[in-house]
Chains A and B, each alone.
Chain A
Amino acid sequence: MDNMDPHIRRAVEQQQKAGQQQHATEANEVLLRLYLAKRIDGQLSFYGARATEFNANIGFMVSVGAGIMAISAIISAVGTTANSAELALITAILPALAAFAASLRQLYQWEKQSSLYRDASLGLQETRLLVPDWDQFDPRTAPAIVPSLVRATEEVFMAEINQWGQIALGLDESEQDTLNQALIDLAATDSSIDMPPGAAASASASAPPQETSSELDNFDDGGMG
């Protein structure tokens, strides 16, 4: 125990002082392996899978947006020479599709979520360092490592879920405005072809609900995962 990490030694002393009910050393070793596998490694795999999925979605939507813009530009150029009602119709529809694609990106917020998961993933990797490599692992330190590891890791999860709540509720007013604006733009596209007033009214009514105040602020700091 003499060459023990000072942080771990302090934890052992504190626990002994508090006279806590502890698991036996062997049980702590099992708990440690359980926690690493089920809580940390499982969550790291989840973050990795989600980040891959989000990146694929971002790439796809960027391609879709670029494709629509390219087609739009070509049709606009052709439209200047050919006086065609069909081309005018397509020119009116394409921006609506582009706005729809932008709305989807705004709704899912893959970039933000991906960055949040990356951050949480690094946090988990950092807390994992509280556990020495298995070839250097001293089973006697398990009773001190388990509480330190669980405490630090659950703090990472708590921070992650709090930030996630902010994203899920769309608390950033400017971003919510952008989403609403995208939907309004979608409706306004019709003005270029004299859309009937009824349609414009319905499009503005279809804007998503405004979520600009934090409901999560009411929560206390209870442990989160």
Chain B
Amino acid sequence: MSEWLVNVRNLFFFKRMPKPHVASKWKRPSADADYEMEKDWEGFVSPLYWQDDDLSKYPTIKQDLDDLDEHLLPAFWEFNQKAKHFQNRFYLYQWIFMGGALLTTLLGALTTYAYTREVDGGMFANVAGIMTAVVSGITAYFNYVSDQGSPQKRWAKTRRLTEELRTNYYRYLAHLQPYNEADRVQQMRRMVISVRRKEIDNG
């Protein structure tokens, strides 16, 4: 029974139900330990959570991690949060469209039924008709807002840029090209600026 409940709770309309609001700006946790935990959870290296080795014994790795923390991760957190924001907004609008369409159909059917049966002397049909119009108006409004905001495109583009930063994080740690020269910090900063430039085009 409990396993069945867990399975039900894992279904998308519980687990992936869009939230009314997801902030577009990331806020760094006030406690350093919480920040390190978030870093670890996102798949980055946190010396606090890496128990297998004492990373302070490896000065190059330690320095690289500090450089990445200073120059790359701020952009990552920013884009990551934006991607979550646009993803939520996209699904929220889609749910509103689909829910609105379903509700309109149900109300339309009820209106016809109430009209045919003269429920409450035709009063119910009038109320259902007005509700149908209201729901139609709301869905039309969100359709317009969604068209203007393009959350789907912005979600996909921001997510891609976020993942580009994540890849460069590991390329930098491994000293792959172009991070295999003495000016690798400059190269990394240049890459972050180039990703930021792409993000400007995203609006």
By a beta-carbon cutoff of 8 Å, the part of chain A in contact with chain B is: 18, 20-24, 26-27, 30-31, 33-35, 37-39, 42-43, 53, 56-57, 60, 85-86, 88-89, 92-93, 96-97, 99-100, 103-104, 107-108, 146-147, 150-151, 154, 157-158, 161-162, 164-165, 168-170, 183, 186-187, 189-190, 193-196, 198-203, 205-209, 211, 215-216, 219, 222-225
Interchain CB contact (< 8 A) of B58 among A27, A107, A108: A27
CA distance A189 to B110 in the complex (A): 13
Q: Which residues B61-104 have CB closer than 8 A to chain A?
A: 61, 91, 93-94, 97-98, 100-102, 104
Once the chains bind, are B167 and A202 in contact (CB under 8 Å)?
no
B163–A93 CB distance below 8 A: no
- Give the secondary structure class of A's interface: helix
Decide: A23 and B61 in contact? CB cutoff 8 A. yes
User: How far is B140's CA from A97's CA once the two chains are assembled, in angstroms?
Assistant: 20
Instruction: Name the B residues within 8 Å of A60 (CB-CB).
Output: 11
Cross-interface CB contact of A193 among B98, B109, B143, B198, cutoff 8 Å: B109
- Establish whether residues A157 and B15, one from each chain, have CB atoms under 8 Å apart when the complex forms: no
Given contact pairs A200-B108, A216-B160, enumerate 4 new A-B contacts (beta carbons under 8 Å): A34-B45, A34-B173, A53-B12, A190-B104
Q: Which of A26, A33, A209, A225 contacts B167 (CB 8 A)?
A: A225
Give the chain A neighbours of B11 by CB distance below 8 A.
56-57, 60
Given A209-B150, A219-B160, A42:B7 Cβ within 8 A: no
Let me know if B153 is at the binding interface, CB within 8 A: yes
